[in-house]
Amino acid sequence: MDFPDDDLHARLPQSALPAQGGWTLYQSFRTFTWPWLLRRGIVLWPLAILGGCTYAIWHASGTGAWGDWPGLALRACVASLITVSTGPLLATLIRHRRFPTMAERVLVVLAILLGLWLGAVALNWVGAYHAHLMQAYAGNHMRTSWFGTAVSNFLGSTVNASVFALILAGGGYATVYYLGERRRIAQFAAARQIENLRAERNAADMRLALLQAQVEPHFLFNTLASVRSLIASEPGRAATTVDALAAYLRIALPRIRTTGIEEATLGRQIDLCLGYLEIMKVRTAGRVEVRVDASDEIRAMPFPPLILLTLVENAMTHGIEPKPGPGTIEIIAAAADGFLSVRVEDDGRGLQPGTTPGLGLANVRAQLHDRFGTRARFEIASRVGGGVSASVRVPLAFP
């Protein structure tokens, strides 16, 4: 899902988060924001209170003075809450002031350090009170049961571990997480962009498949109809047409199904067009001449499939066939300034007034837009001396 980059209340996408357990679900929000602070408090405040009560139980079980428990527990709980909450609260206030990035990071780190210092002061305050309580038992022999002694020893090790845990809970771990947050979000955004590009490409491939479904049967049916009409009157031309069709299919079938743009080179598209024009040369009794101006280096460059074939078919159908006498179709390709330019020119009938672009040219524009957006260009215009010139310009660096 998408989310506003500057919305401090938005939930982070799951893919932008590291693996986490149920007790760290507050990390689904940006660190040091109000939603994060509230959910973190729901998790850590009970633990801080439990730690304070545990500290008081440790004292009472070791001394047998359970009357000291309420006062010590209250102070220990307050100190634990101060340690857990002060630094993150100050950092949250700073982040919502919207300082520049570097200034915000410095101030957040200073806020966490200040919170940890205030937490240490609070813990020392509890320690001083505990020392005051212990003075009452100086020189006295304290009698406790074996159970109280065991509980005291166990809780003593737990209290020592809790001090380190309170430092982490006071913002140490959250600061590290905060400093890496922008990187994780940037990685998510990059992955999301790649996913969107892949989805757009899949959609373009689907539209290309539909275009193939329109082009292939149309051409094959016309060719077969031509063969049928020639069988009785000109069997020799019919046989030549079938041979040319077989040669065309040997070129077309392994390649026309190519949807990966990185596998579609200009040379392959030119070969496909030459196979098509060979059939049309037979069908028109040899009155179409074909010229290709493209070096081996240019032919090896990537070029989207079926676009060139559509332009050549358009030149043949609307330019050469309706015009009496011989005609010429030229395919000219060149590369410059990071772009590949391909022109299909014919000296046929030319653009007729009131003629609107057909489905083939509309598909060419749609495929170029799907693949390259505004970086590609397609133009069709009357040619000097008669006929039509159709040109396609695409970037050499494909997305």
- Other beta carbons within 10 angstroms of residue 286's beta carbon come to 10
The pLDDT score that the predictor gives to residue 276 is 84
The pLDDT score that the predictor gives to residue 254 is 54
- Residue with tokens 């037979």, as numbered in its chain: 282
Q: Where on the phi/psi map is residue 286: left (φ > 0), alpha (ψ -120 to 50), or beta? A: left
Residue 350 contacts residue 387 (beta carbons within 8 Å): yes
The pLDDT score that the predictor gives to residue 301 is 92
Residue 310 contacts residue 280 (beta carbons within 8 Å): no
Q: How far is 187 from 190, CA to CA, in rounded Å?
A: 5
Question: What is the rounded average pLDDT of the residues 258-274?
Answer: 73
Q: Could you say which DSSP state residue 29 is in?
A: B
The pLDDT score that the predictor gives to residue 150 is 44
pLDDT confidence band for 295 (50 / 70 / 90): very high
The pLDDT score that the predictor gives to residue 391 is 94
> For 229-260, what is each residue's pLDDT tens digit?
778 777 877 787 788 777 777 766 655 444 44
| HSE value, Cβ hemisphere, 13 Å, CA-based, for 254 | 7
Q: How far is 322 from 318, CA to CA, in rounded Å?
A: 6
- Residue with tokens 């070969």, as numbered in its chain: 271
- Other beta carbons within 10 angstroms of residue 98's beta carbon come to 9
Q: Which of 58-67, 156-165, 230-239, 265-274 has the highest mean pLDDT?
A: 265-274
**Who wins on pLDDT, 190 or 80?**
80
Burial of 139 (0-12, 13-18, 19+ CB in 10 A): exposed
Domains of the chain: 14-179 (no CATH), 197-395 (3.30.565.10)
> For 200-212, what is each residue's pLDDT tens digit?
666 666 555 555 5
- Amino acid symbol at 26: Y
pLDDT tops 70 at residue 48? yes
| HSE value, Cβ hemisphere, 13 Å, CA-based, for 93 | 9
Sheet of strand 388-395: strand arrangement:
288-293, 327-336, 339-346, 388-395, 377-382
| Integer angstrom CA distances of residue 128 from 42, 132, 134, 331 | 29, 6, 10, 92
Strands 288-293 and 327-336: parallel
Supply the mean pLDDT for the chain. 77
pLDDT confidence band for 135 (50 / 70 / 90): confident
Question: What is the rounded average pLDDT of the residues 49-69?
Answer: 81
The pLDDT score that the predictor gives to residue 144 is 46
pLDDT tops 50 at residue 284? yes
Question: What is the rounded average pLDDT of the residues 322-351?
Answer: 91
**384 CB-near residues (< 8 Å, 6+ apart):** none
The pLDDT score that the predictor gives to residue 3 is 46
> For 61-85, what is each residue's pLDDT tens digit?
777 778 888 888 899 899 889 988 9
**Who wins on pLDDT, 143 or 190?**
190
> For 87-119, what is each residue's pLDDT tens digit?
999 999 998 888 898 898 899 999 988 988 888
pLDDT confidence band for 160 (50 / 70 / 90): very low
Q: How far is 311 from 315, CA to CA, in rounded Å?
A: 6
